[in-house]
């Protein structure tokens, strides 16, 4: 894929010669952080050679370059999912390009279902660890040694300093913020009652369909990572109710200002 990376990188460089320090991946209903970016350049995904295009209706598909609190950032407004039919390598293609452009830190947001009975809709959870139940891995195949080692360590997938600071900021603001474990499943269907029981028993606090592939690739390349989930629905197997995408987006959008506040403050402190 080296030639594909090079072509995408060179195209972006021609349009935006700056060097972003921080990459941002915005999850479902969580695009408000874009409004805090002093925008310098916007590039639709479909203009970039070999760049996958988001097919989810709530994801826009743009790379946004600019600054937040004076820090150069590049944000993915529209993320990619395994259930869209992309390979893990395609899903994480943008993260590789972000690294080539110069980022050293990656912030990720997602909407997720609550498994921990102490969590409520609209709460935030700073990821402390994750479990992958997706049946593919973005590092499968020949190792891209120019990016990282064949067997990258995952003892600390999420940066402890950034995660601790995110919790501190949330608590200072009076938000309901937790620290916990995210489990990634393939989707796109939501889980059955038995599956929710299983996921809780193996140690997960929330469940979602994204994030982990990007984190694996980011850590493969030595990037610092901080990820925050917004709890949009409850996976309570004893009181399970149908959930629609519209309901997920509504809850995420209502909680989004809290997430934006925390991430903006984190970026300011870097």
Domain containing 189: what range? 2-269
Tokens 């610092």 found at = 224
What is the domain-level CATH number for residue 261?
Answer: 3.40.50.1580
Using a 10 angstrom Cβ sphere, with 0-12 exposed, 13-18 middle and 19 or more buried, the burial of residue 144 is middle
Residues contacting residue 209 through CB under 8 Å, at least 6 positions apart = 81, 82, 83, 184, 185, 186, 187, 188
Model confidence over 215-254: pLDDT tens digits? 999 999 999 999 999 999 999 999 999 999 899 999 999 9
- SS3 state at 225: strand
Task: Give the separation between CA 34 and CA 116, rounded to whole angstroms.
Answer: 30
Rounded to an integer, what distance in angstroms lies between the CA atom of residue 140 and that of residue 146? 15
> How far apart are alpha carbons 71 and 144 in whole angstroms?
29
Predicted local confidence at residue 174, as pLDDT: 96
Domain count, the chain: 1
pLDDT, mean of residues 37-62: 84
Query: pLDDT grade, residue 60 (50/70/90)?
Result: low
User: Per-residue pLDDT for 56 more than 70?
Assistant: no
> Average pLDDT in the 75-104 region?
95
Contact call for residues 61 and 53 (beta carbons, < 8 A): yes
Q: Which two three-digit tokens encode residue 245? A: 């995408």
Confidence of residue 57 (pLDDT cuts 50, 70, 90): low
In the chain, the largest separation of any two C-alpha atoms, in whole Å, equals 55
Quick check: 269 pLDDT over 60?
yes
User: Residue 239: helix, strand or coil by DSSP?
Assistant: coil
Higher pLDDT, 56 or 15: 15
């Amino acid at each position: 894929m080296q030639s594909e990376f090079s072509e995408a990188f060179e195209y972006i460089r021609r349009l935006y010669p700056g060097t972003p320090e921080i990459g941002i991946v915005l999850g479902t209903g969580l695009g408000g952080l874009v409004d805090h970016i002093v925008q310098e350049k916007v590039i639709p995904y479909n203009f970039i050679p070999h760049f996958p295009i988001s097919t989810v209706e709530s994801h826009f598909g743009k790379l946004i370059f600019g600054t937040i609190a004076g820090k150069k950032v590049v944000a993915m407004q529209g993320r990619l999912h395994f259930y869209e039919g992309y390979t893990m390598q395609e899903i994480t293609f943008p993260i590789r390009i972000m690294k080539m452009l110069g980022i050293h830190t990656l912030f990720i947001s997602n909407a997720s279902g609550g498994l921990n009975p102490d969590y409520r809709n609209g709460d935030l959870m700073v990821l402390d660890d994750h479990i992958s139940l997706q049946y593919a891995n973005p590092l499968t195949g020949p190792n891209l040694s120019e990016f990282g080692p064949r067997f990258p360590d995952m003892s600390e997938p999420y940066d402890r300093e950034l995660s601790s600071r995110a919790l501190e900021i949330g608590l200072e603001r009076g938000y309901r913020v937790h620290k916990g474990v995210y489990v990634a499943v393939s989707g796109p269907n939501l889980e059955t009652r038995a599956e929710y029981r299983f996921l809780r028993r193996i140690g997960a606090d929330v469940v979602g369909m994204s994030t982990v592939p990007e984190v694996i690739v980011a850590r493969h390349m030595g990037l610092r990572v901080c990820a925050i989930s917004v709890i949009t629905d409850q996976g309570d197997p004893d009181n399970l109710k149908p959930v629609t995408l519209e309901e997920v987006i509504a809850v995420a959008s209502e909680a989004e200002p809290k997430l934006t506040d925390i991430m903006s403050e984190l970026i300011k402190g870097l």
